[in-house]
């Protein structure tokens, strides 16, 4: 439980860092546009654009690294530990496996995409190149679907299973927020509700850990 809880803490940090990156990027872009308007061909305008790209890249990479560590270094082991106590949580552990498979397929799709670009520049005919792009796009879409299913099994199903086992309404609230955030994802706006869901999961897991610790200590004190 403690491992799982720390995973949600890392997810919180990653989401907050992503928000900071977005705000910093927006501010940097506005500043860069202002510099380019004042001196379109000046070195400060070019430096502003380069600085914006570097800042967004660094913050994004750090946030992605934290998310990967949270899921595969904390949440996945935490779900495995829960599945050893309650077999019902095995599906959540399977969800983390699907996320891992989805990411692996995504990397494969990006490799195919990169190879297609390189070969189309020098060797491949336009017809073959378009086929390569379609193949890469198909692989990326498949990876997204697999990771999407894994996300549902890990977070949505996991939240409701935790509610069923420990009867803490915060788990149910988090699960509902995860579902609503998925719905928002379909219209191109997602993230805020999941952030609140992570906070609720972190709080609920802490409460559950305290209750279990108290229940374990009571017979010894008696």
* pLDDT for 222: 41
- State the pTM of this model: 0.80
* pLDDT for 125: 65
The Cα 172–Cα 196 span in angstroms is 13
* pLDDT for 88: 92
The domains of the chain are located at: 1-85, 87-208
Query: Using H for helix, E for strand and C for coil, what is the string for 117-130?
Result: HHHHHHCCCHHHHH
Could you say which residues of the chain have pLDDT below 50?
A: 221-222
* pLDDT for 142: 93
* pLDDT for 101: 94
96, 82 in Cβ contact below 8 A?
A: no
Q: 205 to each of 4, 6, 86, 166, 194, how far by Cα in Å?
A: 8, 9, 16, 10, 16
* pLDDT for 57: 77
């Amino acid at each position: 439980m403690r491992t799982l809880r720390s995973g949600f803490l890392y997810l919180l940090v990653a989401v907050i860092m992503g928000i900071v990156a977005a705000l910093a990027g927006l501010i940097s872009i506005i500043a860069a546009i202002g510099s380019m308007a004042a001196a379109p061909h000046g070195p400060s305008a070019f430096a502003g654009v380069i600085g914006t790209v570097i800042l967004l890249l660094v913050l994004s990479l750090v946030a992605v690294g934290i998310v990967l560590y949270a899921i595969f270094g904390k949440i996945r082991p935490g779900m495995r530990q829960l599945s050893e106590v309650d077999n019902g949580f095995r599906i959540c552990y399977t969800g983390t496996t699907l996320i891992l498979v989805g990411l692996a397929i995504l990397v494969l799709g990006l490799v195919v995409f990169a190879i297609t670009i390189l070969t189309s520049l020098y060797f491949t005919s336009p017809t073959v190149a378009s086929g390569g792009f379609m193949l890469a796009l198909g692989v990326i879409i498949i990876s997204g679907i697999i990771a999407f299913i894994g996300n549902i099994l890990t977070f949505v199903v996991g939240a409701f299973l935790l509610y069923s086992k420990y009867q803490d309404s915060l788990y149910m609230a988090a699960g509902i927020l995860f579902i609503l955030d998925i719905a928002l994802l379909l219209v191109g706006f997602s993230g805020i509700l999941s952030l609140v869901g992570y906070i609720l999961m972190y709080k609920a897991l802490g409460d559950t850990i305290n209750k279990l610790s108290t229940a374990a200590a009571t017979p010894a004190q008696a």
